[in-house]
Structure 1
């Protein structure tokens, strides 16, 4: 009877559907596990399950729980809205809203003045970043607002010109965000600020666009974050700055999320700067940083995925580049130019890439050559939101709707 009960529990656990709880997926690196993907996207290999039309614009990627999907939108250029939908049908379960709107500077107007950050879900609470430097905690079951933290009021800081762009990072103790011209940890239950670090003043530009990640570097668990001026490691419990390295970029536009590599490496690239692998070491409690290598290539907005020691990154010139992380050498780069932005997800040697022009690409992650397996138009409007891949389901948020696709099989 005991064995039968254990087997039943094991089967129930194994049957839990794959989820996408945060920016860049379950492990925040754009890498998922599960059955191998099919070899093509065309024809009947990819079928639409359901679609929600006439949504307000958003750059937030969909958050996928076991039974529901959360999305955000900006409505009538004045209100931010978060909704929950049944995962099987798309039926709306609840919605919650608040005032939230800015007008971004003219040179960025083509990228819109709507909500940007991808929420995070810890299984109970959804943490949503509003564009006006506002963090809102919402009950995932009911949509009830639990608390909100207004960083402009909290720190008497100027509103961000480009909005709150960083996507929240969550652990058992708190929520980590770049807001108020700093890196902040807030209590999950109350929204109280636990610590504030890396204060750069914000200024007219506001906080950096890059999102923090957890990493274990030089034997220490820490938060790694790229601010407007530097890459840094911060103690998770106290906010103490452990190490920092200046990262040059154009007007502080550090956008993509840094990618931890191995036990001591961090891969990053900047707009107006270069691509590099930073080494972080520690001796006697004293940290040191050095460039393992640098490459004269400008990453722009697209955070890379790492597969078998190679990083795949779409740069400012809209070419896809494969970089050997050990040597820093370019393995290959495409002649073809793509859209301005790619969101990338990897699984078992394959990569799905959603182009901002509404095209989905399927690639072999090969360091020898650009190996395109298939491509498919999946949206008529732009697709700046990060795609979510949960088992055989693909969730794609475009500017006007949300579509769920399913692979029919190999």
Structure 2
């Protein structure tokens, strides 16, 4: 007489509801976002709803013994708890620590239903073994992965854990760009307005004037001058003559580096033993250097401010702005870029602005506390009064450049990331994109002064453009910017949308004002040319430029286009272009 248990009846496990639930769950979680960007919220809802549905099926309709139902769920929970301790930090900390729990729901559901289907005719002992091994195998997969960060849509850039990151490859190959301390002098940098002195240009409006670029097809596409690996960071460029300046991370050193504009060859670099990293955006500085009075001013992700000789990289002075302002390093690091205001250099540390003497580095003033923020100080003149605008999570405030006194402020809870846009009539546009506990869309603000008193009034707000960490450009009575991953045009009178088109991820744009053109750098590293006209969306041309997630602002210096991300940087020359006098 056999002692083996007889096979479980085929009717014991009711499987079809779970198959339908997992199929719908993965359709919403994986398939739809793959073909329709911007549907991450739908994916998250689908993953959670599908997980809840599978859990209800497992507990109340699977027909399995309660010991198996409870045991499998307990094993899932225990796996996630253990995994949080052994997975790569880029996964454990991603999405505010919620990436592993969120991603494990659809993976565990698929593993559970797949194992249940495979074991449905097995005896209880083998069935439990199959179910347990499936859950352990699914959870073990996470231990083999790392992520290079999160895209603007919330997708994870997954890699095998043992694969080198671009930064590790850069350092391992001993690239010349990875050697700090080089102090080869460049040509003398004149103390005069630079061709592109810092973040988004001289006026911080991402507008280039005097261009006559030709690019209307493959035969006139810009040609690559050079490309080279670069350390991680979300810095853009400052340019003067044949020199460009940027910030990057190289191992344990946060670096300000100078390269040749026309060849990409390193000229000098300065490094500090500072490293900032967070799992969503990765390592490295977020701000862009400033050229002013023959010096390079740079603010790193931890608030270290350096003033360097622009020709040699020698340190003129250094300050720790976080200590000066009493601010803690925010979740995504200090992201503001320095601003010049006469003999002052102004920096932002989260929600607080501080000013330093450009020559000596003495702290001149600290602005009022303002919560958190990731934007940069912005110079403006309203009603004839110079002021420093700053957007933080609570709204926008204006400070007197001479002493940091508060002139006025307007409450508008936002992401505190996008730069304000100044309109010809003195109005201000504010933008916010996430909508996660904040405003979302664009606000037109009128600011006036009567009898020495400042007042602000909201003219209109619109939800049809929602800039997140990309900025707006204003041109001929219209504003152009990103609504999620797509480009959009609004008219300024009432904030009504004129068109919406193209898919560029969370990219960045430059305005070629004299040619009515937008130069778009997509999140995937493509460069496109789009008409800056309100009639319709028209993309004229597009080429691949660099590889990898690209959030950095592009720069056009003469006929040379500079692009970079956290992996590489490149320069392109427009073949049939010239500068208008």
Shared fold (TM-score, shorter chain, > 0.5) = yes
Superposition map of 1:104-123 within 5 A: 104=278, 109-123=279-293
Q: Determine helix, strand or coil for the equivalent of 1:216.
A: strand
Q: Deviations over 1:135-189 (max 9, x none)?
A: 1111101100111110233244322321110111113211112116411111111
The runs of 4+ residues in structure 1 deviating greater than 6 Å are none
Q: Determine helix, strand or coil for the equivalent of 1:110.
A: coil
The alignment status of 1:308 with 2:308, answered yes or no, reads no
Indicate how the Cα distance of structure 1 residues 17 and 169 shifts in structure 2: closer, same or farther if over 3 A, else same: closer
Question: Which of 310, 313, 324 matches 1:140?
Answer: 310
Q: Could you tell which deviates more after superposition, 301-310 or 396-405? A: 396-405
2:244 aligns with 69
Indicate how the Cα distance of structure 1 residues 381 and 41 shifts in structure 2: closer, same or farther if over 3 A, else same: farther
Question: Which of 355, 378, 394 matches 1:213?
Answer: 378
Q: Answer 1 or 2: which has greater helix percent.
A: 2
Q: Deviations over 1:103-159 (max 9, x none)?
A: 32xxxx232132110111115110111111111111101100111110233244322
- How far, CA to CA, are the matches of 1:243 and 1:122 in structure 2? 28
TM-score normalised per structure 2: 0.63
- Say if 2:301 and 2:335, in contact at 8 Å, map to a contact too: yes
2:327 aligns with 157
Question: Which of 533, 536, 539 matches 1:372?
Answer: 539
Question: Which of 277, 295, 300 matches 2:444?
Answer: 277
Question: Which of 144, 163, 169 matches 2:339?
Answer: 169
Q: State the number of aligned residues.
A: 379
- How far, CA to CA, are the matches of 2:520 and 2:288 in structure 1? 17
Indicate how the Cα distance of structure 1 residues 149 and 180 shifts in structure 2: closer, same or farther if over 3 A, else same: farther
Superposition map of 1:90-109 within 5 A: 90-104=264-278, 109=279
Indicate how the Cα distance of structure 1 residues 233 and 392 shifts in structure 2: closer, same or farther if over 3 A, else same: same
Q: Could you tell which deviates more after superposition, 349-358 or 109-118? A: 109-118
- Residue 385 of structure 1 deviates from its aligned partner by 1.4
Q: Determine helix, strand or coil for the equivalent of 1:291.
A: strand
Q: Answer 1 or 2: which has greater strand percent.
A: 1
The alignment status of 1:27 with 2:203, answered yes or no, reads yes
1:243 aligns with 408
Question: Which of 528, 536, 543 matches 1:361?
Answer: 528
- How far, CA to CA, are the matches of 2:398 and 2:425 in structure 1? 14
- Residue 233 of structure 1 deviates from its aligned partner by 1.5
2:259 aligns with 85
- How far, CA to CA, are the matches of 2:529 and 2:553 in structure 1? 15
- Say if 1:34 and 1:391, in contact at 8 Å, map to a contact too: no
Q: Which has the larger radius of gyration?
A: 2
Q: Which has the higher contact order (CA 8 A, sep 6+)?
A: 1
2:512 aligns with 346
- Residue 67 of structure 1 deviates from its aligned partner by 2.5
TM-score normalised per structure 1: 0.88
- TM-align CA RMSD: 1.9
Stretches of structure 2 lacking an aligned partner (at least 5 in a row): 1-191
